[in-house]
Homo-oligomer: A and B are copies of this chain.
Amino acid sequence: MARTGRRPGNADTRQAILDVARTQFAELGYEGVSLRGIARAAGVDAALVHHYFDGKSGLFAEVMQLPLDPAVALPGVLDGDVEQLGERLLRFFLALWESPETGPRMRAAIRTALSSEEASTRLGHFVVQEILGRLATRLGSDQAMTRATLTGTQLIGLAVARYLVQADPLIRMSVEEIVAAVAPTLQGYLTGDLAEVLAAEPVQA
């Protein structure tokens, strides 16, 4: 045993952290959870949690069995010309769902997340903080969170219709056809003229 009485790093420790994290995310929600609190409940050093999971976002991704941690994957997509960001985001998102490796995990994760009110809200907080928040920071414009969220609605609707509901005309479209049809919508939300909306918007996060 380690000098502190805390368990040393090994597969059991990793699993113990995951078990505690699953419970705490369910009980406290994404925002309510701290890595320190998880480490305490698991009886390990907080540095170990960081060592295994690369932060709260990575830990949540693992608990939800998401195929990737947005904190790791997103920066590469957000980099580059903001005027092409809609298309880059869309291609990245479609690739995740189309891939035989990550697609089934995306479908399973989204089904779980939408199965109950609690799970939906938990996913919502994660998506808002770790995905839309990063997108908004990249935009850096007024009402960037609203722009990011509108972008999110079109992406999630596309995924639900094509990969869960498998709506007929949509599953017969190629990725290129979808990009041609939907990227302009995303780009419009990201950098287009939303004057009426922006003027009407009351509070901003």
* Residues of chain A whose beta carbon lies under 8 Å from any beta carbon of chain B: 111, 113-117, 120-121, 123-125, 127-128, 132, 145-146, 148-150, 152-158, 160-162, 164-170, 172-174, 176-177, 180-182, 184-185, 188-189, 194, 196-197, 200-205
Contact = CB atoms under 8 A, between A and B. Distances in A.
A90 to B, nearest CB: 12
How many identical subunits does the complex contain?
2
Contacts of A196: 180-181
Given A111-B114, A180-B200, A169 B205 contact: yes
Contact of A120 (B128, B149, B165, B168): B165
B149 A202 contact: no
Nearest to A182: B150
A120 B174 CA distance: 21
A154 B126 CA distance: 21
Contact of A153 (B111, B121, B158, B201): B158
A201 B149 CA distance: 29
A168 B203 contact: no
A48 B68 CA distance: 53
A189 B188 CA distance: 13
Contacts of A158: 153, 157
Contacts of A155: 157
B177 A197 contact: yes
Contacts of A205: 168-169
Contacts of A169: 128, 132, 145-146, 148-149, 204-205
Contacts of A111: 114-116
